[in-house]
Amino acid sequence: MDPIHYSPVFAGLTPDEIDRLLDGHTQEKYFRKGDFVLRRGEPYKSLLILIKGEVHAQMNNCRGDKIIIADFHPPKPVFSTTLFASDNRSPVDLLAITESEVTAISKEYFTYLMQTNSMIFLNTTRHISDRAQFLVNKINVLIYGTIKCKLVNYFIDYLDRNGSAEFDIYHSHQHLADIFGVTRPALSRAFIQLEEMGAIIKHSGKHYWVNEKILRAAALV
Q: Tell me the per-residue pLDDT of 184-221, one tens digit each, with 9 for 90 and over.
A: 888 888 888 888 888 888 777 677 787 777 777 766 55
C-alpha dist (Å) from residue 68 to 27, 179, 211: 27, 4, 27
Instruction: Report if pTM > 0.75.
Output: no
> Is the CATH number of domain 144-219 3.40.50.2300?
no
Q: At what angle do helices 147-162 and 212-219 cross, to 10 degrees?
A: 140
- Given a cut of 90, whether residue 8 has pLDDT beyond it is yes
Q: If you ran DSSP here, which 8-state letter would residue 87 be given?
A: S
Res 141: pLDDT: 64
3-135: which CATH number, 2.60.120.10, 2.60.40.420, 3.30.1330.180, 3.40.50.300? 2.60.120.10
Q: 151-193, pLDDT tens digit by residue? A: 887 787 777 777 777 777 777 788 788 777 778 888 888 888 8
Mean confidence (pLDDT) of the chain:
85
| Alpha helical stretches, state H, the chain | 15-22, 107-116, 118-143, 147-162, 173-180, 184-197, 212-219
For residues 198 and 210, what is the distance between their CA atoms, to the nearest angstrom?
8
- Given a cut of 70, whether residue 34 has pLDDT beyond it is yes
Q: If you ran DSSP here, which 8-state letter would residue 196 be given?
A: H
The two domains 3-135 and 144-219 share their CATH topology (first three levels equal):
no
Q: Which residues contact 67 (CB under 8 A, 6 or more apart)?
A: 58, 59, 60, 61, 142, 178, 179, 180, 181
Q: Which residues contact 24 (CB under 8 A, 6 or more apart)?
A: none
pLDDT confidence band for 94 (50 / 70 / 90): very high
Could you tell me if 114 and 49 are in contact, meaning their C-beta atoms sit under 8 angstroms apart?
no
Mean pLDDT lowest for which of 18-32, 116-130, 167-181? 167-181
Q: At what angle do helices 173-180 and 147-162 cross, to 10 degrees?
A: 110
Q: Which residues contact 178 (CB under 8 A, 6 or more apart)?
A: 58, 66, 67, 68
Residue 49's φ and ψ, nearest 5 degrees, are -110, 120
Q: If you ran DSSP here, which 8-state letter would residue 200 be given?
A: E
Domain ranges of the chain: 3-135, 144-219
- Given a cut of 80, whether residue 65 has pLDDT beyond it is no
User: Apex CA 112: angle with CA 108 and CA 113, to 5°?
Assistant: 120
Could you tell me if 37 and 96 are in contact, meaning their C-beta atoms sit under 8 angstroms apart?
yes
pLDDT confidence band for 62 (50 / 70 / 90): low
% of the chain at pLDDT higher than 70: 90
**DSSP of 4-33:** GGG-GGGTTS-HHHHHHHHTT--EEEEE-T
Res 63: pLDDT: 63
Q: What residue type is 147 in one-letter code?
A: I
Could you tell me if 218 and 199 are in contact, meaning their C-beta atoms sit under 8 angstroms apart?
yes
Radius of gyration of the chain (CA): 19
